[in-house]
Amino acid sequence: MNKPARAPLEELASAWEAAWMGSGYFSRCCTPDVHYEDPAVNEPLRGLEDLEDAAAALRSAFPDLRVERATPAFGDGRQACIPWRALGNHTGAIGTLPETDKFVVLTGIHYVEIEDDRVRRARGFWDLYDATTQMGLLPQRGSLGETALLMLRGFGLRR
């Protein structure tokens, strides 16, 4: 029995996930001039090499990184959303941040603009504060430590 062909968006989303995990290449799913942003990058990344380097650094910090589909990707062929969940142990440095040996689970989404069935522009959204609390770098939400941090930042007290 033949399996039904997968839709182009499903193929694109699968190639995108594989590239993040290192079992594929961004050149299979992105235009050469791809533009990428997310909460962890200071400046937008431009081009395949910058995106490959960022993903390699992430995999170095999380060698057992797994990226799973949270729900099916959806879109209209020009724009799409790829919901995901990433899991892994933070056992390598990220820039100047040393490893924390903490297991991290993040849920996020990539909004992508598509050109010729490839990602031309991607913008990732996920909770950077949640990631840092899971790594033990910032206080948990609702804790006394978070209240103190917010006061120092000038946000006042929360009840």
Q: For position 16, what pLDDT does the model report?
A: 97
Q: For position 154, what pLDDT does the model report?
A: 74
pLDDT band at 156 (very low <50, low <70, confident <90, very high): low
pLDDT digits (tens, 9 = 90+) for 35-70: 999 998 989 999 999 999 999 999 999 999 999 998
Query: Considering the entire predicted model, what is its pTM?
Result: 0.83
For β-strands 30-37 and 118-126, DSSP reports them as parallel
Higher pLDDT, 129 or 154: 129
Q: Which fold has domain 8-126?
A: Nuclear Transport Factor 2; Chain: A, (3.10.450)
Q: For position 96, what pLDDT does the model report?
A: 85
Q: For position 144, what pLDDT does the model report?
A: 74
| Domain ranges across the chain | 8-126
CA-based radius of gyration for the chain = 18
CA distances 153 to 24, 130, 157, Å, are 42, 18, 11
Q: For position 4, what pLDDT does the model report?
A: 44
Residue 131 CB coordination number (10 Å): 20
pLDDT band at 157 (very low <50, low <70, confident <90, very high): low
Cβ atoms 111, 123 nearer than 8 A: yes
Alpha-carbon gap, residue 123 to 36, rounded angstroms:
6
